[in-house]
Amino acid sequence: MKTYLFDTDDFVLISYLKSETPEKIWWTPIQYVFEYEDFYIEAEIYCCENPSENTYIMSVKFEKVNGKYTNINGCIVVSENRKISNIYIVRTLVYSQNLVDVGLLINIENDFIDAFVKDNDDDFYKVEDDYLLENFDFKHLPKEYEYIIFE
């Protein structure tokens, strides 16, 4: 079994997300951006493997970028100055043989952001503009994923 799990660098950035309140959290179809005063952290979908034609394994990579974030057309602010209270690493099996960390489930006060790749897709597709899940209940989450609380 191959694994594509978050590494130490990812954990450092995830830890920062949990400990420091972002000024804004932005959504685009392929990334979430956590904006701070003089830098931002990107959580972007990427292809970690292409085992055969028309087959790929998608995950999320994290990167700290120095400077002020400049939004692009299509960016949507999903949260402003709200403390992240919990973060869950979302993990699943892709093609029954590849264990993959596919992103994060982020708890902000009583709301959630589902910043993880669903169905091995290549974007953070949202139905009916559900960028922030309000009155969220864990029993409505897809069962094929494991939700591991980040300590």
Pairing of strands 76-80, 84-94: unpaired
Domains of the chain, by residue range, sit at: 2-149
Confidence (pLDDT) at 42 = 96
Confidence (pLDDT) at 51 = 84
DSSP letters spanning 78-116:
EEES--EEEEEEEEEEETTTEEEEEEEEEEETTEEEEEE
Confidence (pLDDT) at 32 = 93
pLDDT in tens, 41-65: 999 999 999 888 888 999 999 999 9
The CA distance from 20 to 16, in Å, is 6
Residues of the chain with pLDDT below 50 are none
